[in-house]
Chain A
Amino acid sequence: MGITIEARNLVRRFGVFTAVDGVSFAVQEGEIFGFLGPNGAGKSTTIKMLCGILAPTSGELWVGGVDVRTYPEEAKHRIGYMSQKFSLYEDLTVWENIEFYAGIYRLPKESKGGWMEKMLALSGLEEEKHRLAGDLPGGYKQRLALGCALLHDPPIIFLDEPTAGVDPISRRNFWELIAQMAGKGKTIFVTTHYMDEAEHCDRLALINNGKIVAAGTPTQLKERQTGVLLEVATLQPIRAFALVRRELPETNPALFGSLLHVSLSDRAAMEERLLELFKNENITVDSMSAISFSLEDVFCQVMGPGGTVGV
């Protein structure tokens, strides 16, 4: 197992705006590598540079052992790409889309038909073969896009928010497919902002404002958090959240349903302060207990106003 995707000091500017600001990482062969970050953090820009769609302003990148900038065609043979927005032809049928990409990837005549049928089956779209792609529901579209991206059997797959706008059941099925691919030794680079999806990844990189702010396995990321996470149950969660954010921003308050999470570096000193705040503002606290960090907490920690680089 070696490194199959590598970025060194990747930078992309759009005018005065720096979308990706000196990003470096390496992905092992056969890994599911998750790129986690809020909207506009630079996830899509990074993935587009890796796929050779967008030229980096500076920096180096290799995909499948090939320098993407010098040998784009070779690199592109080794990758399958699924963009965030459905980007197959809506006025073509399912089968015509598959046929089109079979031609673009120059699948050999003998095996072409077989592969096309296989991808149709993998997408579970046999019944929809002659339907226009534009008429398919969201989940089907995603599967067709994945099928077309895998048509040439690439060892590396890039998925840019593959399950955005897809219903929960389709999402689960989709991740089962991804797990299958990984089981076959394919390397998967996926961007997402769903925490449950991030848990499926072998390794994660958290990106914010174009910079990687944390990286590691999900467990490492959770364990690396210092201090104590308190879960506060209150009848006025929204007011409580606003209050803490105003008065104690360094605790990175976050709302999880009706529960408020705050992280305290020094529990003894901070808990007093917190309770006093609530009391002064007439916020009733039902319970307050220490819990272990979830990935979502890590995310809020790192991305929050008091977020520190936790690498």
Chain B
Amino acid sequence: MRRQRILALVKKEFITVRRDFSFALNIFILPLIMLVIYGYGIRFDIQYLPTVVWDLSQTPQSRDLVEKFFASGYFRAAGMVDGYGQIEERFDKGKAKLALVFPTEFGSRLARGEKTAVQILVDGSDNNTATLAVGYASGIVRGYQADLVVGKLVQKGIRLPFETPVLTEESRMWYNPELKSVNFIVPGIIVVIMSMMGTVMTAMAIVGEKERGTFEQVAASPLSGMEFLVGKIAPYILLALVDMILIVAAGYLLFQVPIKGSFALLFLFALLFVSVTTGLGLWVSSVSDSLQGAMTLAFLVTLLPSILLSGFIFPIENFPAALKALTYLNPGRYFIEALRGIYLKGVGISVLWPQAAFLSLLGASLLGLTLLRFKKRLA
């Protein structure tokens, strides 16, 4: 391993990256675009869900309940309707996600203390939002019912034997008190971008030399296979780490996502993770001979698992057993756990050592296997 040769390769690689617009795009613009899109776009929580009301009863009782809905902050008024047809039309056009239907007898039956119901219709095409909406809606209805009961008792002159409400809940969201989705998203984006950088860029940089024939000239020089690989990988490891810092900084500046734990530990995990993803990139480059093939394979082994199987968006706990088992092989899973731990909980290596151990194991075996493959091919 000669420093001078590796430096020549690294310098050349950086010139190439600087000149190629698509590289610059991938390295600097893509992470920011992802951060902004996911940061503003993905909401796991609901807020101001557009709601229409079909009020056949037109009574103080129905207006009371509607008011409670809109005062909650989860729902907002999207107009009054007259009939199921209109509700369907609003749902179809996306102008409303929820509809409240009050039967004619709603007010009078409640006044008489008889049983009645309010119908809640939800647009179920987005099941995550629908589930949350129904949950909040039934909470509001239950609260209203309790108020009614107490009101009736007081009206009848019955003094309650205790202060109402006697039982309240005090919930706190630990680690993410405001339940900001973006706090959850930033670590995920770091994983996605770093796996792309490490795997896709490394694979393309190496396969590109094979496809363009430039590798042949290098192969006729005294440069060893090891030197070539190190010189080709090093720039992308560096760029992946720069990207990580970029996302951390942008997350902080744009979305006020702070790091609770140690940045040094975060950096250490990033280093471990990027060694795994570049190892994966090397493997991809060793099995594909065209840029097209390399790109497809690299995206397949990085983007899909890092978004779908890492717990970035879909919680691993809800996966079927077979899929869950598969996630143990996904380096992104460990990195995302570590990132969330460091970012949101501020935990240290005493908690995250299993993740570090699994990442190291994956990285070492991948690098070892690939180097062996390369040795055989170059010999």
Contacts and interface: CB of A to CB of B under 8 A. Distances in A.
Interface of A: 48, 51-53, 55, 73, 76-77, 79, 81, 83, 85-92, 96, 99-106, 148, 158
Contacts of A100: 8-9, 11-12
Nearest to B8: A103
* Main SS at interface, chain B: helix
Contacts of A101: 221
Contacts of B220: 51-53, 76, 79, 81, 83, 158
B217 A92 contact: no
A47 to B, nearest CB: 10
B214 A103 contact: no
A104 B219 contact: no
A104 B5 contact: yes
Nearest to B16: A91
Interface of B: 2, 4-5, 7-9, 11-12, 15-16, 19-20, 212-224, 379
14 contacts: A48-B216, A51-B219, A55-B379, A76-B220, A83-B213, A86-B213, A87-B213, A91-B16, A100-B8, A100-B11, A102-B8, A103-B8, A104-B221, A104-B222
Given A83-B220, A104-B8, 13 more contacts: A51-B219, A52-B219, A53-B220, A77-B222, A85-B213, A87-B217, A92-B16, A101-B221, A102-B8, A103-B11, A104-B5, A104-B222, A104-B223
Contacts of B2: 106
A87 B221 contact: no
Contacts of A105: 221-222
A231 to B, nearest CB: 42
B222 A89 contact: no
Q: Which of B2, B215, B220 has the most CB of A within 10 A?
A: B220
Q: Which of B11, B20, B212 has the most CB of A within 10 A?
A: B212
Given A83-B213, A85-B213, A88-B214, A53 B12 contact: no
Nearest to A76: B222
Nearest to A86: B213
B15 A103 contact: no
Given A53-B220, A55-B379, A83-B217, A96 B15 contact: yes
A103 B7 contact: yes
Given A87-B213, A103-B5, A103-B8, A53 B15 contact: no
B5 A89 contact: no
A85 B213 CA distance: 7
Contact of A89 (B7, B12, B221, B224): B12
B95 to A, nearest CB: 52
A32 B4 CA distance: 33
B11 to A, nearest CB: 7
A100 B12 CA distance: 7
A85 B212 CA distance: 9
Q: Which of A83, A85, A91 has the most CB of B within 10 A?
A: A91
Contacts of B218: 104
A87 B9 CA distance: 15
Contacts of A158: 220
Contacts of B216: 48, 53, 83, 85, 87
Contact of B222 (A73, A83, A96): A73
A106 B12 contact: no
A101 B217 CA distance: 10
A91 B13 CA distance: 10
Contact of A73 (B9, B217, B224, B379): B224
Contacts of B9: 100, 103-104
B219 A53 contact: yes
Contacts of A48: 216
Task: List the 6 shortest-distance A-B pairs measured between CB atoms, nearest first.
Answer: A103-B8, A81-B220, A87-B217, A51-B220, A76-B222, A87-B213
Q: Which of B19, B213, B217, B224 has the most CB of A within 10 A?
A: B217
A91 B20 contact: yes
A89 B214 contact: yes
Contacts of A96: 12, 15
A84 to B, nearest CB: 9
Given A87-B217, A106-B4, A92 B224 contact: no
A190 B373 CA distance: 33
